[in-house]
Structure 1
Amino acid sequence: MNKQKGVGLIEIIASLVILAIAAMGFIALQYRTLEMASESLNRVEAVNIARNLSERMYVSRASYVDCLKDSCSSNTFAGKDWGEMYALATQRGMNIGVFTCPDTQNGRQCIYVAWGKTTAEPGSCTETDQFAYKSDSKCVVVEAFNE
């Protein structure tokens, strides 16, 4: 009577397939983790850009209101602030826009910072007539308290 000793080829192939599936699952998990970390970094950078612009708008309230109404030149203080923030956002692969906040009676300004395929405007980032983010948008909206 012959007794089998060792491991058969089928068992080795089955264990390699199981190992490969586990490795692919681990790789997918790592990829998703990197994606989420990148998204978090984009959000932090966008909030910092919007906060910086909001603080600059607050410091130079009068000149910034004139800038929004009259399309200021690069020689004005508000134009310089806008140019610096726009350049910083562009350098980070983001776009930036300042619009009147929806559902406000006092004309408060909202700073939109977006990245990816989302544009920094109310219809692309948030619902048009309300202050609610669209589910697939890649953006941050910060209210500027410049009153």
Structure 2
Amino acid sequence: MNYQKGVGLIEILASILILAIAVLGFIALQYRSLDIAAEALKRVEAINLARNLAERIYVNKTAYSDYKSIATSISTATSCLNTAGCNATAFAAKDLADIKAQATARGMSIGVDTCPNTTNGRQCIFVAWDVTKAEKGSCTETDSFVYKADAKCVVVEAF
């Protein structure tokens, strides 16, 4: 009687199938890690934009209340460099125009609004990307700092 020696075709096919499934799993992991890295990069850019605007608000404290009202309407502003007639409100408009231009170049939007659940009038800087809007209710729950599910935004509490 002759007995089979070596590996049969079925065993080889089964091992190739298992290997192919494992390789597809690794490919899926790599793809997901690229998505997570891109999201992390967007968050870092958003935090940097918000920090930049917060520093500008801190420097221009006399126009503190103007930043919220100007943020909804400003698209461009004239430069106050080498201009004698500029005031704090004009500087605020220029600051917001600069930051909005930087945000737009990165595919983001930026907004300033009163922070949720605060009685002292603190302002929050909202930076959002993709389909999320840079405002309360779109980025966070209306009266809290809880981010909405699938919201693509960063909220930074300013002064």
Q: Same fold by TM (over 0.5)?
A: yes
| 1:80 matched residue in structure 2 | 94
- Secondary structure in 2 matching 1:23: helix
Structure 1: gaps (5+ residues): none
| 2:17 matched residue in structure 1 | 17
> More displaced, 14-23 or 130-139?
130-139
| 2:132 matched residue in structure 1 | 118
Provide the rounded CA distance (Å) in 2 between the counterparts of 1:85 and 1:38.
21
Q: How does 1:68-147 map to 2 (within 5 A)?
A: 68-69=68-69, 74-75=77-78, 76-145=90-159
Cα displacement (A) at 1:127:
0.6
| 2:32 matched residue in structure 1 | 32
- Kindly provide the CA deviation profile for residues 78-97 of structure 1, in whole angstroms up to 9, marking residues without a partner as x: 11111111111111111111
Cα displacement (A) at 1:42:
1.0
> More displaced, 34-43 or 45-54?
34-43
| Structure possessing the higher relative contact order (Cα contacts under 8 Å, 6 or more residues apart) | 1
> More displaced, 5-14 or 109-118?
5-14
Provide the rounded CA distance (Å) in 2 between the counterparts of 1:64 and 1:74.
17
- Kindly provide the CA deviation profile for residues 17-76 of structure 1, in whole angstroms up to 9, marking residues without a partner as x: 000010011111111111111111111111110000000011012234235346677232
Q: Specify whether residues 94 and 141 from structure 1 end up closer, same or farther in structure 2 by C-alpha distance, changes over 3 A only.
A: same
Q: Amino acid of the residue matched to residue 92 of structure 2?
A: A
Provide the rounded CA distance (Å) in 1 between the counterparts of 2:58 and 2:101.
20
Provide the rounded CA distance (Å) in 1 between the counterparts of 2:142 and 2:19.
50
Q: CA RMSD, aligned part only?
A: 1.8
Identity of aligned residues (%): 65
TM-score by length of 2: 0.83
